[in-house]
Structure 1
Amino acid sequence: MINADHTLAPADPWHPRAVRASVPAPRRWRARVPILSVAGFRLFVWPSRCRGAGGSQGLREVQMARRRTARRVGRRSGGDGVMWALVVLVVAVPLMNAMVGFVRASAGWLLVSTLVAAVVAVGVALLLARRARRRRDHFLQANARLETIDQMNGEQFEHLVAALLRRDGFRKVRVTGRAGDGGVDVVGVAPDGRVFAVQCKRWSSNVGSPHVRNLLGALAHAYSGHTGLLVTSSGYTSAALREGQGAGLAMLDRRDLAEWALGIPLPDLLSPPASERMSA
């Protein structure tokens, strides 16, 4: 028997070569290729069914068709962008003209509204400042006696000193309330522009020279350029007075604190007596 390829087939039908010759070649499946997608629907083609003699030629034609479709979609997208830009321009120009016309027509009304809002804001600010001042004065009146001050803890005494500074016209007064700052508890700017660094000691015993040196060290480093003030509810040792006065440190003892709490301004307490000014 002669095979299709002009070879001699074996006489035995169960011969392996005869079995292989009788089995049909497996069908080669070719993947379908999408070439167009419209409104969620896709158009697929099979390369083996495209025009041309072979599947590779058909695949190339499919690819070219997809490129042409992509170019058309791109041109359509660009046209849509220009169209939307024109729509926005057509809508925005009349709106802008309407807004400009409204502002011109109601310029007086807007000016009056702005002035009224400014007056209201200033009034509220003054009211809040007055309320804060009243609250501060009440606090100072309630703690103007040394017997009341002696019942305070350290934090309460620091806030009392800060309130006294605000009463005397100091600005930007704040209680630091932090450790490792050389013992400075309150800072503030005096009416004459000097920046004060205050150390508060609500003690029953006298303050010694180590604490004076501690404040002087802070003024030389962390608080350089500040004017030092040491306030205590007790007194100072003789060594502390010599060291502090020798360094030009302002120091208020128990008697000075009582006068300050009763209403004598701090600048009057820090100024030297008239006898010392005359002798100088």
Structure 2
Amino acid sequence: MVLTGQIRAWRQAVEIRAFCQAARVRADDVPVATDERDWLEWAAAHAVRLDPLQGPLCAPPDPPAGREVLRELAKIDAYAYPWPFDTDGRWTLPDDGPTDPRTGGGAVSRRRRGGDEELLVALGVLVVVGLVLVKVGQWVWAHWWVLVVLGLVAAATLAAWCYRRLDQIRSAQLRVDGLTYSLGQIDAMHHSSFEHAIRDLLARDGSRDALRCGGRGDLGADVKGHDPQGRYWVIQCKHRRNGLTGSAVGTPDLQTLNGTGRPVHKGDVVVLVTNGRVSAPAQQFARQQRLHLVDRHLLEQWARGRRPLWELLPALPAPRKPSRRGPATRL
């Protein structure tokens, strides 16, 4: 309590003053040392700070309202009789509702009533939904033929969609099977269209998973796919709009492909395809590193002819699996 604390502080101040007086009497007329005089002055000042009688006395402020304070003051179980607190321990204002201890406060009662109302609404919705489902089930049972008709319509729609999809796949395969390009068409392409054309030529030859993957971050691989013998092809495309008169493919391009074609992309056959020319140092580097080159002349044979690329390139790795069909099966 505040009063008992003030009494303890006053007694401590009195004892400090008595101690300082006894220390001064002990010295009599002998001069006091500087350290001792400073210590006694600090002790006297501290006694003044502790003494509550050095200032006006007034009643202490009311303690903060709380469950524990209420239980201490009223000597009751504040949780059994929660008023004037709500369930969150907050003080309820007089206009929040009746303050009957038996009800636990107006806010609590309203919250309970709100929860009961929400429960009743949920039950009502469930009942309505159940009645609607019962009515629908009774109608369906009485008109079962409607379900049969709807099932037939759905089956016919699905069959029509599947037929159109298969027809699109067959048409696309026929276009790929008969695909050819001239050098003029290839030279006029954008570099991304050139990559798509190489992907389509690989699919024409029989690769079922030919994929164009060129772009930023492609790590040197623009087209990838397996041939019918199971070998994995990694192809880098270098398009030159001016054809043979454009800049030649140099050793740096092949160095990038050599560094990623097998270690990163796990390719069995690593190829560089260009509609231009390849420099002599690059050709020598390709022979040393077992890289395959498709220059403008070989590209013309591949794009205009019917032979797959794996029949045009020499010294390919052994097949991973025996071929069950020709290298360029037609529909």
TM-score (norm 2): 0.51
Q: What secondary structure is seen at the aligned counterpart in 1 of 2:166? A: helix
Q: Partner of 1:63 in structure 2?
A: 99
> How far 1:84 moved relative to its partner?
3.0
- What is the 5 A alignment of 1:167-206? 167-170=204-207, 171-178=209-216, 181-203=218-240, 204=244, 206=248
Output one character per residue of 1:227-256: Cα deviation in whole Å (capped at 9) or x when no partner.
311112244455434432343323223332
Q: What secondary structure is seen at the aligned counterpart in 2 of 1:243? A: helix
Q: Partner of 2:271 in structure 1?
A: 229
Q: What secondary structure is seen at the aligned counterpart in 2 of 1:196? A: strand
Q: Output the CA distance in 2 between the equivalents of 1:256 and 1:112.
A: 55
Runs (5+) with no aligned partner, structure 1: 1-31, 37-61, 274-280
Q: Output the CA distance in 2 between the equivalents of 1:110 and 1:160.
A: 45
> How far 1:216 moved relative to its partner?
0.6
Q: Partner of 2:165 in structure 1?
A: 125
- What is the 5 A alignment of 1:50-199? 63-64=99-100, 67=104, 73=110, 76-100=113-137, 105=144, 106-129=146-169, 132=172, 140-141=179-180, 144-170=181-207, 171-178=209-216, 181-199=218-236
Q: Partner of 1:257 in structure 2?
A: 299
Aligned partners of 1:209 and 1:243 also within 8 Å: yes
Change (3 A) 1:86 1:234: closer
- What is the 5 A alignment of 1:41-56? none
Identity %: 31
> How far 1:136 moved relative to its partner?
6.1
Aligned partners of 1:165 and 1:173 also within 8 Å: no
Q: What secondary structure is seen at the aligned counterpart in 2 of 1:261? A: helix
> How far 1:114 moved relative to its partner?
3.1
**Counterpart of 2:196 in structure 1: which amino acid?**
H
Higher strand share: 1
Q: Output the CA distance in 2 between the equivalents of 1:68 and 1:80.
A: 19
Q: Output the CA distance in 1 between the equivalents of 2:122 and 2:190.
A: 71
Aligned partners of 1:176 and 1:187 also within 8 Å: no
Q: Partner of 2:95 in structure 1?
A: 34
**1:211 maps to 2:247:** no
Aligned partners of 1:187 and 1:196 also within 8 Å: yes
Q: Partner of 1:9 in structure 2?
A: none
Q: What secondary structure is seen at the aligned counterpart in 2 of 1:198? A: strand
Give the paired residue count: 213
Aligned partners of 1:173 and 1:189 also within 8 Å: no
Q: Output the CA distance in 2 between the equivalents of 1:123 and 1:194.
A: 33
Match of 2:312 among 269, 272, 278: 269
Moved more, 246-255 or 186-195: 186-195
Alpha-carbon RMSD across the aligned residues, in angstroms, is 3.8
Output one character per residue of 1:9-47: Cα deviation in whole Å (capped at 9) or x when no partner.
xxxxxxxxxxxxxxxxxxxxxxx94365xxxxxxxxxxx
Output one character per residue of 1:148-193: Cα deviation in whole Å (capped at 9) or x when no partner.
4344453443232122123223325124122x64443223344445
> How far 1:198 moved relative to its partner?
1.0
TM-score (norm 1): 0.58
Change (3 A) 1:216 1:74: closer
Change (3 A) 1:264 1:102: farther
**1:247 maps to 2:289:** yes
**Counterpart of 1:244 in structure 2: which amino acid?**
A
